[in-house]
């Protein structure tokens, strides 16, 4: 420790010295090194803080200024984990003409990405079977006793309630949607049945249910729901990197800037031929033009424009879909119309020509739409017409062509109904029900449709002797669910399907993008899936908002936790560092003041202006 000498100010007899914290020159490098180490430690501490902050937010992704948590998708085939508190549920009751079915759906909390829809899947029980229940008859059978409507539905809702956690009932939406069977009833009977459901169901069940959740839907709505369900399962509503996909198409968004087309994933069209009706539904990506004001008015009832997204201001999930249902154009209904025509025309011809064709089994009417040598009898007992098949596929097609009721008007299909132009080079269709059965049950060629191959197979089947077909049937060469009815009328239905597709809907015979199927990804896709997707489309917005709040809450919670654990260390380090720095500065100040008190100006000979005294030199 250095000393300050006061001998220059005091008499010689009073010489003494005091210790002072003057920093020796030998310690200066050490202090500098200490300061450098402190700065390095502070810099490393700052980096540590940044890394810890990044780690605290590693589980969050920020998109569109929102926080998004990556959530696991609901598995398709595993049993539903009802213990998951983040799982949501929904019910759709399909009240059809022959019976009513309840479908239970589930989905995890929305992942917060406004570009994506809810990940809705059919709920599966502990045996991994879809949670579905069906009862008969249809609710329309209660038209004269509407007070029994709710009693009819109770078994379905009790079944669903047993599979959904009780604490989730209050937030589980319930939709009761009635279809064809109810549509044919008078409006007063419809309303009486619906009112009984609206009144009684909330008394016995705690599901999220309002008056608007029960209604009779139109054929157009049902078609739109079916289109939504199929395209959802196919993943066509996932618009991530759409512009880079090979299946992207240019779409003029309805209600948007018609001058700019948006590239997004191509959706699939739907063809469905049942026993009574045939339906077609597909997206119309471009602006539609009309040949006449009358055609435009008709088109308003056939075109549906809707937004599947959770935000009405976003347009990426806005679709324009054409849907048309043709009653009487299903496979069985068409056969019935055909037989009625045969009976009427044969009776007229026999009367004019004085013939007895078809009145006995010995003089049957030759029918090219039945397999060769198949004998059949149609009509009532009082007017039975006997038929014998000739198995002529092409002749059958010619006879069936007038039953399409085509007109010469442009942009029209069956019965002259308006049909927007289809871009066959940039489209894809899926054919269900009779489109699949006609190809698979007997011909065993379901899947990708090839008109030439199909026509040749159907032509060969029709020309085959009925005896041979029966032998093949008895040998189990056809599909397991194919029966004698299918065997008898396969020739007719093959020709009818071909004509509807190519002459009715005007699909070219070289069209390669039609796939007939019974299932999509190994599961049956009902229109009810599209219904709940559409009716819960605003729920993701709620989850996004909650996720955003949760994200910021988690952000600040991590931040304050980080303060408590790490900022305290940094604060202590800074206090110690500043204390050392201030102490060193204080030492330097004290040293300067002491030096000023012992300056040479206090020596008498300097103050007198005299020169330096002579210093004796010893030689």
Annotated binding site for ATP: 275-279
Distance CA 339, CA 341 (A): 5
Sign of CA dihedral 339, 344, 350, 352: negative
Query: Nearest to residue 156, comparing CAs of 80, 90, 91?
Result: 91
CA distances in angstroms from 291 to 299, 336, 406, 420, listed in the order given: 11, 34, 17, 11
293, burial (CB in 10 Å: exposed 0-12, middle 13-18, buried 19+):
exposed
Q: Pairing relation of β-strands 385-389 and 365-367?
A: parallel
Which residue of the set 187, 195, 215, 222 is catalytic?
Answer: 222
Q: Which 3 state secondary structure label does DSSP give 269?
A: strand
Query: Nearest to residue 281, comparing CAs of 242, 227, 327, 334?
Result: 227
Distance CA 194, CA 198 (A): 6
Distance CA 165, CA 180 (A): 33
Buried b (16+ CB within 10 A) or exposed e, 472-510: ebeeeebeeebeeebbbbbbbbbbbbbbbbbbbbbbeee
Mark the binding-site residues, compressed into ranges: 275-279
Looking at residue 173, what DSSP letter applies? B
Tokens of 484: 């004698």
Q: What is the SS3 string spanning 191-218? A: HHHHHHHHHHHHHHCCCECCHHHEEECC
Is 222 catalytic? The answer is yes
**Active site positions, annotated:** 222
């Amino acid at each position: 420790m250095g000393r300050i000498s006061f001998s220059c100010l005091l008499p010689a007899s009073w010489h003494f010295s005091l210790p002072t914290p003057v920093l020796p020159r030998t310690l200066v490098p050490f202090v500098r090194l200490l300061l450098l180490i402190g700065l390095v430690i502070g810099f490393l501490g700052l980096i540590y803080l940044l890394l810890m902050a990044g780690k605290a937010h590693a589980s969050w992704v920020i998109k569109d200024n929102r926080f998004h948590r990556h959530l696991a998708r609901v598995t398709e085939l595993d049993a539903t984990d009802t213990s998951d508190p983040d799982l949501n549920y929904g019910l759709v009751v399909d009240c059809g003409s022959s019976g009513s079915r309840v479908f239970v759906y589930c989905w995890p909390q929305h992942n917060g990405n406004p570009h994506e829809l809810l990940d809705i899947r059919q709920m599966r029980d502990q045996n991994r079977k879809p949670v579905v229940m069906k009862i008969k008859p249809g609710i329309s059978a209660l038209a004269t006793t509407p007070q029994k409507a709710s009693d009819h539905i109770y078994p379905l809702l009790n079944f669903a309630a047993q599979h959904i956690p009780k604490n989730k009932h209050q937030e589980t939406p319930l939709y009761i949607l009635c279809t064809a069977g109810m549509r044919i009833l008078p409006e007063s009977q419809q309303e009486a049945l619906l009112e009984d459901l609206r009144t009684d169901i909330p008394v016995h069940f705690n599901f999220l249910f309002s008056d608007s959740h029960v209604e009779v839907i139109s054929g157009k709505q049902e078609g739109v729901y079916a289109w939504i369900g199929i395209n959802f399962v196919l993943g066509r509503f996932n618009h991530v990197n759409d512009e880079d996909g090979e299946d992207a198409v240019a779409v003029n968004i309805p209600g948007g800037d018609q001058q700019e087309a948006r590239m997004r994933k191509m959706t699939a069209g739907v063809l469905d031929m049942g026993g009574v009706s045939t339906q077609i539904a597909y997206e119309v990506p471009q602006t539609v033009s009309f040949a006449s004001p009358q055609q435009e008015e008709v088109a308003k009832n056939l075109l549906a424009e809707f937004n599947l997204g959770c935000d009405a201001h976003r347009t990426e999930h806005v679709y324009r879909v054409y849907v048309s249902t043709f009653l009487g154009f299903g496979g069985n209904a068409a056969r019935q119309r055909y037989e009625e025509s045969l009976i009427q025309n044969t009776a007229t011809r026999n009367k004019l020509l004085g013939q007895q064709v078809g009145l006995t089994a010995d003089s049957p009417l030759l029918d090219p739409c039945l397999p060769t040598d198949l004998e059949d009898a149609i009509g009532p007992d009082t007017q039975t017409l006997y038929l014998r098949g000739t198995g002529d596929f092409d002749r059958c097609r010619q006879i069936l062509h007038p039953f399409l009721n085509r007109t010469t008007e442009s942009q029209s299909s069956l019965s002259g109904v308006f049909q927007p132009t289809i871009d066959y080079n940039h489209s894809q269709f899926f054919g269900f029900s009779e489109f699949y059965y006609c190809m698979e049950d007997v011909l065993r060629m379901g899947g990708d449709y090839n008109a030439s191959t199909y026509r040749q197979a159907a032509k060969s089947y029709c020309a085959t002797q009925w005896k041979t077909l029966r032998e093949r049937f008895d040998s189990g060469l056809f599909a397991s669910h194919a029966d004698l009815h299918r065997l008898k009328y396969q020739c007719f239905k093959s020709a009818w399907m071909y004509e509807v597709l190519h002459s009715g809907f005007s699909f070219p015979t070289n069209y390669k993008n039609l796939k007939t199927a019974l299932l999509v990804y190994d599961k049956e896709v009902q229109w009810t899936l599209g219904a709940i997707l559409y009716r819960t489309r605003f729920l993701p917005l709620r989850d996004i908002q909650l996720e955003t709040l949760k994200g910021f809450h988690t952000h600040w919670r991590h931040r304050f936790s980080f303060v408590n654990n790490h900022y305290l260390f940094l604060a202590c380090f800074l206090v110690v560092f500043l204390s050392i720095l201030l102490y060193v500065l204080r030492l330097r100040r004290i040293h300067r003041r002491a030096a000023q008190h012992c300056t040479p100006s206090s020596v008498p000979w300097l103050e007198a202006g005299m020169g330096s005294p002579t210093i004796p030199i010893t030689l």
